[in-house]
């Protein structure tokens, strides 16, 4: 599956939802994920809401902070299964701002304008422009236009939340023929979606417990000191601009700079001596190779990287008072 299931440790004393993309899902870890490790450490039920390839708009839609606006055009002769209607998501927005939800088999259950049903893609659900469809649970009438809220967003609204997304938005700036200013637009889009997710988490009953993690950069997205002598566009937009802005906007109680920690402190934290390649990576200001997958561009961590990250995250959650130190 492309979306991991919830994982439960022996004793359930609290609940935590981890929202994000492939880094939350655990790509590169060979089955090791930071949500699993937090569940084991603290004895809590942890929902892994990581979806491979998803941009921040999709993550925010699943979490509940951003409700995509859905229009339902009149049928035009397309052969469709019973109770199924073609729909458009955020049609009034530019393509890169629209909600793109990627799920296993392209399906996501929720509520459209008061009508329960499944939002899905038919065909290649990972394709940007594959159309969406909505299948009602009951009834045959065309559903009204409105916003779509997900079951997962409702189910996990009141739990502790870790939010880690935006990588796939900023990847767009390295694509060919990118229009000028897209980097700044992508930053603003990620900031806006994270703000919506934070507001949704704050609005839930219970403690104000959510934590946003900084975006990572991978190979080929460094400061240029060991390569070209100048930072990449991704580095300038993420490391030099977006992450510092998030830190200032969210504050230390709701933001954790895991990127800088991975680069500068993680090896020592794990009792590891840096290799020559690690030292070059650190000079380039990217997470060291000993903690990441072998790749020229990939920001994903390996099993050791996810393990150390989970330990560091757990320590921070204890400091914030989310969980007891003996967890």
Question: So what's the pLDDT on residue 8?
Answer: 40
pTM of the model: 0.92
Q: For residues 60 and 163, what is the distance between their CA atoms, to the nearest angstrom? A: 9
DSSP state for residue 242 in the 8-state scheme: I
What CATH fold (topology level) applies to the domain 7-64+157-319? Rossmann fold (3.40.50)
Question: So what's the pLDDT on residue 93?
Answer: 92
Q: Which of 117, 139, 125, 3 is nearest to 70 (CA)?
A: 117
CA dihedral defined by 107, 20, 13, 28, rounded to 10 degrees? 100
Question: So what's the pLDDT on residue 92?
Answer: 93
292 CB contacts (<8 Å, ≥6 apart)?
Answer: 28, 218, 219, 298, 299, 300, 301, 302, 305
Question: So what's the pLDDT on residue 178?
Answer: 66
Q: For residues 24 and 22, what is the distance between their CA atoms, to the nearest angstrom? A: 5
Q: Which of 303, 304, 293 is nearest to 269 (CA)?
A: 304
Q: For residues 62 and 49, what is the distance between their CA atoms, to the nearest angstrom? A: 8
Number of Cβ within 10 Å of residue 62's Cβ equals 27
Residue 245 vs residues 91, 111, 198: alpha-carbon distances, Å: 29, 34, 15
**Binned average pLDDT, 10 residues per bin, the chain of 327 residues:** 43 72 96 98 94 93 95 87 93 88 76 94 77 92 93 90 96 70 92 97 80 96 94 94 98 98 99 98 98 87 98 98 86
Residue 2 vs residues 21, 26, 61, 123: alpha-carbon distances, Å: 10, 10, 17, 16
Question: So what's the pLDDT on residue 14?
Answer: 44
Question: So what's the pLDDT on residue 192?
Answer: 98
Domain limits, CATH 3.40.50.1110, in the chain? 7-64+157-319
Q: For residues 224 and 238, what is the distance between their CA atoms, to the nearest angstrom? A: 14
Q: Which of 315, 288, 306 is nearest to 32 (CA)?
A: 306
E strands within 129-273? Answer: 132-136, 146-150, 160-164, 210-213, 255-256
Q: For residues 179 and 237, what is the distance between their CA atoms, to the nearest angstrom? A: 15
Question: So what's the pLDDT on residue 106?
Answer: 66
Output the six-digit token pair for 78: 């397309």
Question: So what's the pLDDT on residue 176?
Answer: 61
Residue 98 forms beta bridges with which residues?
A: none
Output the six-digit token pair for 94: 């530019």
223-229 contact pairs (CB < 8 A, 24+): 223/284, 223/285, 224/284, 225/283, 225/284, 225/285, 226/280, 226/283, 226/284, 227/284
Q: For residues 38 and 22, what is the distance between their CA atoms, to the nearest angstrom? A: 17
Contact 70, 146 (CB under 8 A): yes
**Phi, psi angle pair for 149, to nearest 5°:** -110, 140
Strands 15-20 and 45-50: parallel
């Amino acid at each position: 599956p492309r979306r991991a299931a919830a994982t439960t440790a022996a004793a359930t004393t609290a609940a935590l939802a981890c929202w994000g993309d492939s880094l939350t899902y655990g790509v590169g870890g060979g089955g090791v994920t930071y949500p699993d490790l937090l569940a084991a450490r603290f004895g809590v039920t942890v929902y892994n809401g990581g979806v491979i390839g998803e941009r921040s708009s999709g993550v925010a839609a699943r979490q509940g902070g951003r409700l995509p606006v859905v229009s339902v055009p009149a049928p035009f002769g397309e052969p469709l299964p019973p109770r199924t209607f073609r729909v458009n998501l955020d049609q009034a927005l530019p393509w890169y701002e629209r909600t793109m939800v990627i799920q296993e088999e392209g399906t996501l259950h929720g509520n459209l304008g008061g009508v329960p049903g499944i939002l899905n893609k038919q065909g290649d659900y990972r394709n940007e422009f594959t159309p969406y469809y909505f299948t009602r649970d009951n009834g045959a009438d065309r559903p009204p236009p409105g916003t779509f809220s997900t079951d997962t967003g409702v189910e996990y609204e009141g739990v502790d939340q870790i939010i880690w997304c935006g990588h796939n938005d900023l990847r767009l700036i390295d694509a060919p023929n990118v229009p000028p200013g897209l980097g700044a637009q992508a930053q603003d889009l990620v900031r806006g979606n994270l703000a919506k997710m934070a507001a949704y988490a704050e609005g839930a009953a219970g403690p104000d417990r959510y934590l946003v993690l900084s975006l990572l950069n991978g190979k080929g997205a460094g400061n240029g000191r060991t390569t070209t002598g100048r930072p990449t566009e991704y580095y300038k937009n993420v490391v030099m601009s977006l992450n510092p802005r998030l830190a200032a906007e969210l504050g230390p109680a709701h933001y954790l700079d895991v990127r800088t920690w991975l680069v500068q402190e993680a090896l020592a934290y794990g009792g590891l001596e840096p290799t020559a390649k690690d030292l070059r990576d650190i000079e380039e200001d990217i997470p060291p190779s000993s903690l990441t997958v072998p790749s020229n561009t990939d920001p994903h961590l390996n099993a050791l990287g996810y393990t150390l990250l989970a330990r560091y995250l757990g320590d921070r959650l204890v400091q914030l008072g989310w969980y007891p130190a003996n967890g």
